[in-house]
Amino acid sequence: MLKKHSLPRATTSFVFLILLFIGVGLINSSFLTLQNIMLNLNSSVIYTVVAIGIAFVIITGEIDVSVGATLGISAAICGTMVRDGNPVQGIIIALLVGLFIGLFNGFGVTVLRIPSIIMTLGANGIIRGMIYVYTNGKWIENIPLEFKALAQAKFLGIFTWFYFATLVAMVLIYLYMTRTRTGRYFKAVGDNPNGANLLGIPVVGTKIVAFVLCGLFASIGGIMYVSRVGFITPIAGNGYEMKVIAACVLGGISLTGGVGSVIGATIGAAIMASISRALVFLGFPSDYDNTITGILLIVVVVFDSVLQITSAEKVRRQRLSAKIVHAEISTPEAVENEK
Amino acid sequence: MKNNTTLLKKKVMRWESFLVLILIAEVFIFGLINPKFLLPRVFLGSINNFMTICIVSLFVTFVLITGGIDIQAGSIVGLTSIFIGVLWNDAGMNLYVACFLGLLLGAFCGALSGFFIAFTGVQSMVVTLGGSFLYSGLALMVTNFSSTESYKGISGFPKEFTHFVKGRIFNIIPNQLVIFLVLILITYLLLHRTTYGRKVFLCGVNQNAAEYCGIKSKLIIMSTYILSGVGASLAGILLTAYLGTAKTDLGKEITLPVITAVVLGGTSNLGGTGGVIGTALAAVVIGIMRFGLSMADVNTQYLDIPVGILLIIAVAIRFAGTNPAISKFFNKFKHPLKR
């Protein structure tokens, strides 16, 4: 049942992604080469990782707008330590920071009952300030070449290792969320927290786990950022939260919770990353990037909503007319029986 | 007699009184740290630094009371600013006509998002997220019509335009403070003293009930977005006049402070409760805090930390009581003998 709900929406997004590639490819054929497609997908890796993380939170019916800042501070911490020659330490501490931020958000939302958008907005402000305290407002540069090379290393010559690992993680998480008992808790909690509570599902625990996973994935995104981008400004990751939420929505994850899958998040992230490159291939200036993203987001979501409303109406009418037909058939019989 | 005291208690114990207390504490502390802070010219003049947040949050309050959220207001501020700049500088239009058109543009932007939110049932967060991308993108596109480089901004506005906003009555009270007070009065009357305001509240409490009462709830919800769009445009015009420059990124950083101000002011993001006075007080609390800290030689980049902490603590105080485990814990202290 759950599978039936989530799959079609992710498929429409996937079809849309393919249409985007074909459409742009018709105008500029060099967009449709395998090399370019892979380049597109590989460049979406940071969005994808963060989107998978935030998908947990959105599916449980909450929201996290501190992921951009979490990514930024993880990148800053990991970046300085890698620069100073302690890459393993840097990665571990960055992950711990992400974990702690997730715990902090989860604690505020579940125990203190702060609405999640407020809690994470506050956390966003605090973390952004912390980045300035930590870096003194300076750029972090001179990341060793070996660390930067990690992002370029290829698997089978087409995928980067980062993207391949992300895809594997996505599949595992998808299986976890659809096939296992604890994995299904996320959707249950997002769909109806009170109902989930009555069924004996640990609502508070599930939400905290979702926030912790979100923080962890944002840190992983931060570590990848260090490797891919190679320098960290104090505003690294600014605006990622909005892009990632938009990616999830494009991929069919409902912000009311309970609907969607990590596959959708991955496809949405690929769409978000492809748009700006597609515009370049179409010959538009990059100024149009935000405009197109905004229009696309609104159109997709409104279209989807209208479609859902009309289909629900259709089902209702069918049921009503079936009742009427049934009533028409049954009344003469009843009359005859009376005779 | 008892009734009177409980009434008085209710009035004193209101959330707004708590905000006033914070405000007094702030003035006291910052006055101690830096006596210059208490000079009327400096203290009153500080409003100029956070006028945009004050105005926008007043109008966004309406949206939050209907149970929605508006994160596009910042983009509308920038769009209006560059729009009037281009109309005046490159189209040679009268500046005041351009300002009027700017207000219309803000109303239109709000109406567009409000229409989708009210009539297609998409979550306000998603639509205004799309709107924030769209309008900031449009702002960049508008700059293409200008002969000036976008990062420089359009300047050289006539003196009487900038002078009115920069001016002070009796050389002490800034005109912006007067504008703010007038806007508080207008929004207060609109929200708390008219049938329209009552309808806005009812739509937030229960949209179905409002619909059954014969209120056109969809139009009411749409109108709140128009109001916030107009408010954002107004803030954009005033900010342009104050800075003397029209730029696309003027309202870029205000989303966090605006939502903070509205929620800190006692408006629930779930809708149905709240008020303009609280919002105005909270906006001033945040503004004074930022201003005071920067006068106390705190780096401006760090200022998000105290604001974030203030937001989380204040909202935690309000919401933690709804958690049965916590309220039980505190009741132990309240009635030690009764237990």
Judged by CB atoms closer than 8 Å, whether chains meet at B299 and A123 is answered as no
Torsion sign (Cα): A179, A183, A186, A188 = positive
Cβ-based neighbour number of residue B200 at 10 Å: 28
Closest to A281 in 3D by CA, of A16, A22, A17: A22
Residues of B in contact with A58 (CB under 8 A): none
Residue B96 has pLDDT above 90, yes or no: no
- Whether residue B127 contacts residue B117, with contact meaning beta carbons closer than 8 Å, is answered with yes
Q: What is the CATH number of the domain that holds A67?
A: 1.10.3470
Residue B246 backbone dihedrals phi, psi, to 5 degrees: -100, 120
Cα A200 to Cα B77: distance, rounded to the nearest angstrom: 48
SS3 A159: strand
Q: Based on the domain organization, do A167 and A305 belong to the same domain?
A: no
**Residue of A108, A126, A287 lying closest to B140 (CB–CB):** A287
Cβ-based neighbour number of residue B35 at 10 Å: 9
Closest to B262 in 3D by CA, of B249, B247, B250, B275: B275
Q: Based on the domain organization, do A131 and A74 belong to the same domain?
A: yes
Q: Are strands B154-155 and A154-155 parallel, antiparallel or unpaired?
A: unpaired
Q: Based on the domain organization, do A315 and A275 belong to the same domain?
A: no
B97 touches chain A (CB under 8 A): no
Q: Based on the domain organization, do A83 and A28 belong to the same domain?
A: yes
Q: Based on the domain organization, do A296 and A264 belong to the same domain?
A: no
A338 touches chain B (CB under 8 A): no
Q: Based on the domain organization, do A111 and A252 belong to the same domain?
A: yes
pLDDT value at position A54?
94
Give how far A261 is from chain B: nearest CA, Å: 18
Judged by CB atoms closer than 8 Å, whether chains meet at B134 and A126 is answered as no
Residue-range definition of the domain harbouring residue A123: 2-286
Judged by CB atoms closer than 8 Å, whether chains meet at A297 and B133 is answered as yes
A229 touches chain B (CB under 8 A): no
Q: What's chain A's length in residues?
A: 339
Residues of A in contact with B270 (CB under 8 A): 115
pLDDT value at position B114?
92
Q: Are strands B245-246 and B173-174 parallel, antiparallel or unpaired?
A: unpaired
Residue in chain B nearest A242 by alpha carbon? B129
Angle of CA points A6, A7, A9, to nearest 5°: 75
- Percent of chain B scoring above 70 in pLDDT: 91
- Percent of chain B scoring above 90 in pLDDT: 19
A54, A194, A286, A287: best to mutate for the B interface, most B CBs within 10 A: A287
Scan for tokens 């079936």, then name that residue: A322
Angle of CA points B14, B16, B18, to nearest 5°: 80
Residues of B in contact with A138 (CB under 8 A): none
Q: Based on the domain organization, do A278 and A304 belong to the same domain?
A: no
| A82 Rama sector, left if φ>0, alpha if ψ -120 to 50, beta otherwise | alpha
- For chains A and B, what is the number of CB pairs under 8 angstroms? 154
Cα B80 to Cα B55: distance, rounded to the nearest angstrom: 15
Within 63-92 of B, beta carbons closer than 8 Å to A belong to: 69
pLDDT value at position A50?
94
List of residues 6+ apart from A125 with CB closer than 8 A: B256, B260, B304, B305, B307, B308, B311
Q: Based on the domain organization, do A101 and A191 belong to the same domain?
A: yes
List of residues 6+ apart from B33 with CB closer than 8 A: B292, B295, B296
**Residue of A133, A291, A302 lying closest to B120 (CB–CB):** A302
SS3 B147: coil
A199 touches chain B (CB under 8 A): no
Which value does ipTM take for this structure? 0.79
Q: Based on the domain organization, do A279 and A313 belong to the same domain?
A: no
| Positions of E strands within chain A | 154-155, 159-160
- Whether residue A154 contacts residue A38, with contact meaning beta carbons closer than 8 Å, is answered with no
Q: With 0-12 CB in 10 A as exposed, 13-18 as middle and 19+ as buried, what is B14?
A: middle
Cβ-based neighbour number of residue A280 at 10 Å: 14
**Residue B173, beta-bridge partner list:** B169
Cα A51 to Cα A55: distance, rounded to the nearest angstrom: 6
Q: Are strands B245-246 and B154-155 parallel, antiparallel or unpaired?
A: antiparallel
Residue in chain A nearest B131 by alpha carbon? A294
Residues of B in contact with A115 (CB under 8 A): 263, 269-270, 315, 319
- Whether residue A251 contacts residue A269, with contact meaning beta carbons closer than 8 Å, is answered with yes
- Can you give the pTM of this predicted structure? 0.84
**Residue of A126, A292, A295 lying closest to B309 (CB–CB):** A126
Torsion sign (Cα): B52, B240, B40, A129 = positive
- Whether residue B33 contacts residue B188, with contact meaning beta carbons closer than 8 Å, is answered with no
SS3 B152: coil
Give how far B67 is from chain A: nearest CA, Å: 13
| Positions of E strands within A237-281 | none
Show the tokens assigned to B331: 């009741």
Q: Based on the domain organization, do A196 and A315 belong to the same domain?
A: no
Separation in Å, CA B266 to CA A56, A304, B282: 29, 34, 9
Which pLDDT tens digit goes with each residue over B145-195? 777 666 677 777 777 777 777 777 777 788 888 889 999 999 999 988 899
Mean of the per-residue pLDDT values of chain B: 83
Angle of CA points A156, A159, A160, to nearest 5°: 105
Q: What's chain B's length in residues?
A: 339
Which pLDDT tens digit goes with each residue over B223-254? 999 999 999 999 999 888 888 888 888 877 78
Judged by CB atoms closer than 8 Å, whether chains meet at A302 and B116 is answered as yes
Which pLDDT tens digit goes with each residue over B12-37? 567 788 888 888 988 888 888 888 88
**Residue of A129, A137, A288 lying closest to B141 (CB–CB):** A288
Judged by CB atoms closer than 8 Å, whether chains meet at A294 and B260 is answered as no
Judged by CB atoms closer than 8 Å, whether chains meet at B123 and A113 is answered as no
Q: Based on the domain organization, do A282 and A292 belong to the same domain?
A: no
Residue in chain A nearest B113 by alpha carbon? A298
**Residue at which a domain ends, from A243, A271, A286:** A286
Q: Based on the domain organization, do A234 and A92 belong to the same domain?
A: yes
Within 168-227 of B, beta carbons closer than 8 Å to A belong to: none
Cβ-based neighbour number of residue B300 at 10 Å: 10
Residue B1 has pLDDT above 60, yes or no: no
Closest to B162 in 3D by CA, of B84, B255, B107, B232: B84
Q: What is the mean pLDDT of each run of 10 residues along chain A (339 residues)?
A: 51 84 84 82 90 93 91 92 87 93 92 86 89 86 81 77 90 92 90 90 92 94 90 84 87 84 91 83 77 83 79 82 71 57
Cβ-based neighbour number of residue A312 at 10 Å: 10
Q: Does domain B17-315 have CATH number 1.10.3470?
A: yes
Judged by CB atoms closer than 8 Å, whether chains meet at A129 and B260 is answered as no
SS3 B170: coil
Expressed in percent and rounded to 5, the helix, strand and coil fractions of chain A are 80, 0, 20
pLDDT value at position A207?
93
pLDDT value at position B264?
84
A302, A304, A308: best to mutate for the B interface, most B CBs within 10 A: A302
Closest to B304 in 3D by CA, of A305, A29, A238: A238
Show the tokens assigned to A292: 């197109």
pLDDT value at position A5?
44
DSSP A126-143: HHHHHHHHHHTT--B---
Separation in Å, CA A23 to CA A272, A278, A294: 16, 10, 19
B317 touches chain A (CB under 8 A): no
| A232 Rama sector, left if φ>0, alpha if ψ -120 to 50, beta otherwise | beta
Residues of A in contact with B312 (CB under 8 A): 108, 114, 118-119, 122-123, 126
Judged by CB atoms closer than 8 Å, whether chains meet at B308 and A297 is answered as no
B300 touches chain A (CB under 8 A): no
Cα B181 to Cα B177: distance, rounded to the nearest angstrom: 6
Q: Are strands A159-160 and B154-155 parallel, antiparallel or unpaired?
A: unpaired
